[in-house]
A = this chain, B = another copy of it.
Amino acid sequence: MLAIAIKEHKLEPSEIMCLSILYGQKHHRELEAAKAVADYYGCESHVIELNHDLFTGGGSAIIGEGEVDMPHLTYKEIAEGEGVSPTYVPFRNGNLLSAATAIALVGGADSVYFGAHAEDARGWAYPDCTPEFIGAMANAIYVGSYHKVRLLTPLEWMMKSDIARKGLDLDVPFELTWSCYEGGQFACGECPTCIERIEAFKVNLAEDPIEYAVAVDWDS
């Protein structure tokens, strides 16, 4: 998304502030990766912490040390999942976007970029990634900020394979990025986000440059 903002939306890196949020996620290691990507593009980065109590006790597999076990599912099983996803965090994206909007207003920014994508919206996996949620939040943010801040979601209609292809086209330093929900030394290769990330590269006949804790067959 940062590559799109700079290379396609033609923003200057100095105009951008990359915001990462600690909210009790098991994989807070993603913040180091986010900073490395921001540094790569010459953007300022900033971390804020939200009260972890908001999301604790909600039964999410990605909070704390894992209130419930991380699901190990196939790509097809993830896509066909119904009901509440075990990795859903209670109204997380409403909280993250509201925090980002406050920070945008204080800092004088006119837009908040949000990387929700179509694969996260599929099968009602994450209701706070759907076009319906995004449209409602975009309205709330625009109206509630005196029309000063807009919500931009350039990945809204892209599957992870589209995003990988776009990233490959834009020379994104994928080796600096992090997706895994486990937050270990290497990507686990087994949690839902690893499964989807691996599939996204395979669809593009490409190999993911990050290290996985398990062997991945890139030619299958």
Which residues on A are within 8 Å of B, measured CB to CB? Answer: 48-51, 53-58, 83-84, 88, 90-95, 97-99, 101-103, 105-106, 124, 127-128, 130, 132-133, 135-137, 139-141, 143-147, 149
Contacts and interface: CB of A to CB of B under 8 A. Distances in A.
A122 B118 CA distance: 38
Nearest to A126: B144
A191 to B, nearest CB: 21
Given A48-B54, A49-B51, A140-B133, A127 B146 contact: yes
A52 B84 CA distance: 31
What DSSP secondary structure best describes chain A's contact surface? helix
Given A57-B106, A58-B105, A141 B48 contact: no
Please indicate which of the listed interface residues A54, A98, A124 has the most CB atoms of chain B within 10 Å of its own CB: A98
Contacts of A103: 54, 90
